[in-house]
Amino acid sequence: MDSYSGYSRPYPVPGPGDGHDEQRSEIASGDPQEERSGDGLAEERSLIASPTFPDLSGVRILLIEDHDDTREAYAAVLGHCGAAVTEAASATEALERFDGAAPAVVVTDLALPDDVMLLVPTLRERGVPALAVTASGPLSRRVRAVPDTFRLVLFKPIPPVELCAAVEKVLNGRR
């Protein structure tokens, strides 16, 4: 049994040195005899499908995250998908920027320095759906009580393509 972070799998994890290197090289290049240089990772990477990021061109997003590095990373990913992102570090700051941002969707961390629930009345009043992001375990009763506001919850860490796909899903559920 293979073990990773306490999770047991009844099957081995494929990878370099598992006896299938020649097959992976052949799949990657079409030629099993072609010489390879480097560490062999190029062949491995070529077998991984490139993720397809959804087109969020023109979508205005209000992003609320209190950790600067995380907020910057999410903003970059959403911007890569074409979204116009307004950033805020707290619920209070988000409310101050709300009118100027005119968001189609809000992406917010649930663990903010002030109460994320401060956003709910404004979101409901304006009909703006929200996507919640959290690094912690079970959702509070308060968050579960407003599924019309927090349409989707993602648990960190979030792969970039999944963040953009979740925004698209929330927007499509609104239409």
In the chain, the number of structural domains is 2
- Is pLDDT larger for residue 18 or for residue 151? 151
Q: Return d(Cα 62, Cα 43) in angstroms, integer.
A: 39
Q: Would you say residue 8 lies in a domain?
A: no
18 and 87 share one domain: no
* One domain for residues 75 and 152: yes
The amino acid at residue 170 is: V
Residues 42 and 68 in one domain: no
Q: Sorting pLDDT into bands at 50, 70 and 90, what band is 65?
A: very high
Mean confidence (pLDDT) of the chain: 76
For 79-106, write each residue's pLDDT tens digit.
999 999 999 999 999 999 999 999 999 9
Higher-pLDDT residue of 4 and 82 is 82
Query: Do 38 and 66 belong together in one domain?
Result: no
Report the pLDDT value the prediction gives residue 138, as an integer from 0 to 100: 66
The identity of residue 109, as a single letter, is D
**Is 149 a residue whose pLDDT tops 70?**
yes
Asked if 73 and 157 sit in the same domain, the reply is yes
Dihedral sign computed on CA atoms, order 118, 175, 99, 69: positive
Structural domain of 36: 13-46
- Is this prediction's pTM over 0.85? no
Reduced 3-state DSSP string for 57-97: CCCEEEEECCCHHHHHHHHHHHHHCCCEEEEECCHHHHHHH
Q: Are residues 21 and 86 in the same domain?
A: no
Same domain, yes or no: 38 and 65: no
CA distance 142 to 119: 12
DSSP 3-state assignment of 139?
Answer: coil
Q: Would you state the pLDDT for residue 133?
A: 92
Rounded to 10 deg, the angle between the 68-80 and 160-174 helix axes is 70
Taking 50 as the threshold, does the pLDDT of residue 36 lie above it? no
Alpha-helical regions (H) of 13-159: 21-29, 41-46, 68-80, 91-101, 120-126, 141-144
- Tell the residue number behind the tokens 């116009």, with chain if given: 84
Q: Are residues 71 and 150 in the same domain?
A: yes
What CATH number did the domain enclosing 141 receive?
A: 3.40.50.2300
Is the pLDDT at 18 greater than 70? The verdict is: no
Same structural domain for residues 117 and 32?
no
pLDDT at 7 over 70: no
Percent share of the chain, pLDDT over 70:
65
Is the pLDDT reported for residue 166 higher than 50?
A: yes
Helix (H) / strand (E) element for 150: namely strand 150-155
- Whether residues 73 and 23 share a domain: the answer is no
Domain match, 88 and 23 both: no
The pLDDT of residue 99: 95
